[in-house]
Amino acid sequence: MRNIHPIVEEVLNSFFNPDETKEFISRYLSNEDDSSKVDEVTDTNLSAQFKFKLPDGLKTRSQIDLLITFSEANLSQDKLVELLLFLGQSTITSGEYTSSVEIHNKIISLTKDFPEMLNITANAYFYIGEIFSRQAQWDLSFFYLDKAIKLFGKENNLKGNANCENLYEPFMEIWAILKKQLCILKMLLQHLKVIRTMP
């Protein structure tokens, strides 16, 4: 398949039959690189605007968004969640973090009201926390990890809780070092105050 991001192609092959894949391509991607109609425009300034190509990152994101829209219209809720889980993991692996956060938020919105999907919701929170941890956005990471821990606790999911704690651990080690350094700094300041008051 030409000009289709590998993640989108893999999802199409895994979740849709060949006719549905053709429908997706013809409906959403057929005009993506078609510049033949642009040549019919006589105004050169306008023609140049039509020939604008999206950067690869935006093109990938656009294809993923279109795939999700297509999937919402063509898959059952359970199959859609399965597709989103697969897509969420694939986007993490490929470094498409912004798309992955959006996908996992979509998973949360689809599953949070269903007790039988609590573990899926917890994992979505975990993956968002992991993404923010990779980006050193600690406040956001801990916000999502705390939500995941609460849900994993309700499910008695020890592995899920352990995964969250493993993400916390490096930060906690750094925090312990900083606390030690702070104590040393306080002692030095007290010592300096004593020296200053001496005649």
DSSP per residue over 44-95, as a string?
HHHHHHHT----HHHHHHHHHHHHHHHHHHHS-HHHHHHHHHHHHHHHHHTT
Residue 144 lies in a domain: yes
Instruction: Please report, for the domain that includes residue 114, its CATH number.
Output: 1.25.40.10
In a domain, 182, yes or no: no
For residue 143, count CB atoms less than 10 angstroms from its CB and return exposed for 0-12, middle for 13-18, buried for 19 or more: middle
pLDDT of residue 33 exceeding 60, the answer is no
State the pLDDT at residue 45.
61
Packing angle of the helix pair 6-15, 56-74 (nearest 10 deg): 10
CA angle 93, 96, 100 (to 5 degrees): 85
The model's pTM: 0.72
pLDDT confidence bin for 113, thresholds 50/70/90: very high
Percent of the chain with pLDDT over 90: 50
SS3 193: helix
Residue 157 near residue 119, CB atoms below 8 Å: yes
Round the average pLDDT of the chain to a whole number and report it.
84
Asked if residue 181 belongs to a domain, the reply is no
Residue 106 lies in a domain: yes
Mean pLDDT of 36-44: 54
pLDDT at 12: 93
Q: What is the pLDDT of residue 101?
A: 96
Question: pLDDT at residue 136 above 90?
Answer: no
CA-based R_g, the chain, Å: 25
Q: Band of the pLDDT at 54, cuts 50, 70, 90?
A: very low
% of residues, the chain, pLDDT over 70: 82
Q: Is residue 74 a part of any domain in this protein?
A: yes
- Total structural domains within the chain: 1
The confidence score (pLDDT) of residue 60 equals: 80
Residue 48, pLDDT > 60, answer no
Confidence category of residue 111, pLDDT binned at 50, 70, 90: very high
Instruction: Specify if 141 maps to a domain.
Output: yes
Q: Is residue 35 situated within a structural domain?
A: yes
User: What is the domain range of residue 156?
Assistant: 6-167
Tokens of residue 152, six digits = 């994993």
Does residue 24 lie within any of the structural domains?
A: yes
